[in-house]
């Protein structure tokens, strides 16, 4: 099951995110996920496990387990100049906004790939460059994120477009952009963003942003489709939607886990979901969300649990500044 992007390429509607995955476990995790049926992998330079992901993908391709053209790899470039993409998706890190080409090539080398399926701008902010492949978040003397003011998002985007022209990347997109920044990107872009990857889940539905993106041909990907669950509860002290009594009731009705209900809800919103797990049984459960469908009545019921509640990526905790203010 896949979504056709605005440039004609298709993107599997469910993928596996590798954020916070232990390096030693990634190889088996990716090989197991491919055997289950996953073809979409979401990576980022900032995750600091590109080399391990690349090793696993290389083995899968060389052994004949899967063909490269059947994979979708995404990576992100942080405005620190970092980029990765598979289905594989990849991201440009925040320190590399002024070094987009070099960051992309660096990621491709680590991933052992000739091209990325999707490359995303990780955050709409450029910070002090600390070297290609270095994905830290340098702070200034006041302990606040050291933001650069001489590189615009428009400049970064045009550098992203150049990657497409060079054949290094098939699709480019944005991540953590609100409606206003997305609108601006549409206005100055020659190549429209194919994807906006955002936090969205039943407790943070962001209906206005989702509808705006879809209206303008931008695919929405949910990078925290389960609300972060235990991991974010420990990291940020947040509450998980997986404990919600209404969602639990729906899960009982369908004889599914709450996580499966939440992922299926995301898919039926016509968004891509990239849940993270390191457990084989959860991988299998997650992929089985393609085997059932929620009724309109239950989709409408899930709308009622929205709390406008962000559980992930709370910059003020680490960067001394609230980028969402």
Active site residues: 47
Sign of the CA dihedral running 322, 199, 209, 40: positive
> 252-256: which pairs have CB atoms within 8 A and are 24 or more residues apart?
253/298, 254/292, 254/294, 256/292
Cα dihedral 316, 317, 319, 324 in deg (nearest 10) = -30
Number of H helices, E strands in the chain: 12, 11
**Cα separation, 68 vs 114, whole angstroms:** 10
Specify whether the CB–CB gap between 40 and 72 falls below 8 A. yes
**Cα separation, 102 vs 30, whole angstroms:** 26
Rounded to the nearest 10 degrees, what angle do helices 50-62 and 100-111 cross at?
A: 50
H or E, element range at 10: strand 10-12
H or E, element range at 172: strand 169-175
């Amino acid at each position: 099951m896949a979504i056709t992007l605005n440039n004609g390429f298709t993107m599997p509607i469910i993928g596996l995110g590798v954020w916070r995955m232990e390096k030693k476990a990634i190889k088996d995790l990716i090989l197991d996920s491919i055997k289950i049926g996953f073809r979409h992998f979401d990576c980022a330079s900032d995750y600091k496990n590109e080399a391990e992901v690349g090793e696993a993908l290389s083995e899968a391709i060389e052994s004949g387990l899967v063909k490269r053209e059947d994979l979708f790899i995404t990576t992100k470039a942080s405005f620190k100049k970092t980029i990765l993409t598979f289905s594989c998706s990849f991201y440009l890190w925040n320190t590399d906004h002024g070094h987009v080409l070099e960051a992309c090539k660096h990621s491709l080398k680590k991933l052992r790939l000739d091209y990325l399926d999707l490359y995303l701008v990780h955050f709409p902010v450029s910070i002090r460059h600390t070297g290609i492949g270095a994905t830290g978040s340098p702070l200034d003397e006041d302990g606040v994120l050291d933001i650069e003011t001489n590189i615009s998002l428009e400049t970064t985007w045009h550098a992203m477009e150049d990657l497409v022209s060079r054949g290094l990347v098939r699709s480019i997109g944005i991540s953590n952009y609100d409606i206003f920044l997305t609108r601006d990107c549409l206005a100055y872009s020659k190549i429209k963003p194919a994807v906006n990857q955002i936090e969205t889940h039943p407790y943070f539905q962001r209906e206005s942003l989702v509808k705006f993106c879809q209206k303008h041909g931008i695919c929405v990907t949910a990078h925290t489709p389960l609300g972060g669950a235990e991991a974010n509860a420990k990291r940020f002290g947040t509450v998980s939607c997986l404990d919600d009594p209404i969602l639990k009731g729906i899960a009982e009705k369908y004889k599914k886990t709450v996580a499966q209900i939440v992922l299926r809800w995301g898919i039926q919103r016509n968004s891509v979901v990239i849940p993270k797990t390191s457990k084989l049984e959860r991988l299998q459960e997650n992929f089985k969300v393609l085997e059932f469908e929620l009724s309109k009545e239950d989709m409408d019921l899930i709308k009622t649990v929205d709390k406008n509640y962000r559980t992930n990526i709370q910059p003020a905790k680490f960067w001394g500044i609230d980028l969402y203010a």
